[in-house]
Structure 1
């Protein structure tokens, strides 16, 4: 894990909580404006970059990171030898889906992909599937056990 754990950061920054409105201004309006049509792809790669700065040893730590970061409640729906389906939900996600039908969760998808790569030592990719009816996001994570990552 990083030098400062997410729990330590949360304790230190709990007093400085940002209202959801402020978060949404940046996430849904400013970033798409700055990144233009490439926003989803850039957010995916930025999610991977964040995961490299905060390497987590287990899926349970990844789930905890989502809660600590305010990204929502991440749960395992299915798991097989080569893929996993995760579900992400929260009041903020429900609101984002309701208020912006074009919102994406590529930051979270990239973060999950990179964490799985690090935890399983294989190349992984994550696909998002918004479910507006349930107001949750499904992520399908796929990996190939034969596509090992070279340790440097």
Structure 2
């Protein structure tokens, strides 16, 4: 690792341990399979933390340390989401960055919410944001799945902390 890379990671919003694991160690282990494996890992993670609404997607996305995400536009066949925030900006500044975990996570969340096969891809990386396109076919619904049991997303960790002090 070069000195500039070390300095960037050490002073990033996520911190050195998470950034090293995510953008250096995992790609070193997985090699050319990194994109595919992280995409499917993201889909699996979304099945473990299914959320019911677009607002909940934004909340849990941030809580999982993926950065901020917001729905930019939507129609019957696709949705465009924008990832941003300090974590995303820091990772974009690295020579090698990968957002397929987040794309897989988002694709699966939309699939669970729409009950239609959904796939996502990174369509644009800018200096401070990443665009993710989620495509789905509402005519191609999933028929062999059990109803999703969505988790209840807490909108603020401060609320849960104050609740714990009251007990």
Q: Residues 77-113 of structure 1: CA distance to partner in whole angstroms, max 9, x if unpaired?
A: 111111110000011211211122x311000000001
Question: What is the CA RMSD across the aligned residues, in angstroms?
Answer: 1.4
Name 1:83's counterpart in structure 2. Answer: 78
Task: After superposition, give the CA deviation of every residue in 1:40-72 in whole Å (9 maximum; x if it has no partner).
Answer: 100000000000111111111111001111211
The aligned counterpart of 2:132 is 139
Per-residue CA distance 1:21-56 (angstroms, 9 max, x = gap): 111000011100111110010000000000011111
Contact 1:20 1:92 in 2 (8 A): no
Unaligned runs of 5+ in 1: 1-17
Gaps of 5+ in 2: 1-12, 147-167
What corresponds to 2:141 in structure 1? Answer: 148
Q: Give 1:96's match in structure 2, choosing from 78, 91, 95.
A: 91
Task: State the distance in 2 between where 1:19 and 1:96 align.
Answer: 9
Work out whether residues 98 and 132 of structure 1, in 8 Å CA contact, stay in contact via their aligned partners in 2: no
Taking structure 1 as the reference length, what is the TM-score of the superposition?
Answer: 0.83
Which 4+ stretches in 1 moved above 4 angstroms? none
Counterpart residue number, 2:49: 54
Q: Counterpart of 1:63?
A: 58
> Are 2:80 and 2:132, in contact at CA under 8 Å, matched by a contact in 1?
yes
Specify the alignment match of 1:4 in structure 2: none
CA–CA distance in structure 2, aligned partners of residues 139 and 19 of structure 1: 21
- The count of aligned residue pairs is 133
TM-score, normalisation: structure 2? 0.75
SS of 2:93's equivalent in the other structure is helix
Structure 1 residue 19: deviation in Å? Answer: 4.8
